[in-house]
Amino acid sequence: MGPLYVDINDLIPHLGFPIITIGDVVAFHFETAGVSPNVSIIDQLTKREPIDFPPPFQNIDFHIEVKNPPGVLTDELVHAINQSLNDHDGPSQILVIGEEDLATLPAIMLAPLESSIIYGQPDLGMVHILVTSDAKRDAWNLLSQFDGDLDSVFSMITQSDL
């Protein structure tokens, strides 16, 4: 969905605001580089195995734990992303009990235009998505193929956002 970066220092000049990271390894790279995302979404796993480094960003203003099974997007996760983006000024962390892999799609839908969403591509690097109207439409098109009640989950999104 976006360009792939191996070195965070190559990515930093291209970041928009707010910054949303998805994945523990990505969050770890940001913390190591001294860049604090506005929202970090982690599950304390990498490649579905427990990680061996501490949870990133111990110094956060808002922390929430949500359940989200693998291969699923729960209302709980989507609303936590929305809350983190809209109700808190400082850094937020969402700890997913389950799997955070699909969080990229609702993050694109809920983030303001020109936001940066960065997620990990295992063994390859970090993918950077600059949120645009086209990116939102692409995310919506992918989400519309999911089973479930999208209108309920995304009640906070209007058609004008697409």
Q: Are 55 and 2 in contact (CB under 8 A)?
A: no
Helix, strand, or coil (residue 28):
helix
Residues 6+ apart with CB under 8 A from 91: 36, 37, 38, 39, 40, 57, 59, 60, 61, 62
Place of tokens 């190559």: 10
What total of structural domains would you count in the chain?
A: 1
Query: Is-cis flag, bond preceding 56, omega within 30?
Result: no
Model confidence at 159, pLDDT cuts 50, 70, 90, reads very low
Q: How is residue 105 written in tokens?
A: 């799609």
Model-level pTM greater than 0.75? yes
Specify whether the CB–CB gap between 26 and 46 falls below 8 A.
no
106-157, pLDDT tens digit by residue? 999 999 999 999 999 989 999 999 999 999 999 989 988 887 766 655 666 6
Which structural domain, as residue segments, surrounds residue 93? 4-161
- Res 160: pLDDT: 43
Q: Which two tokens stand for residue 93?
A: 């962390």
Report the Cα 34 to chain-centroid distance in Å.
18
Nearest to 71 by CA among 50, 51, 48: 48
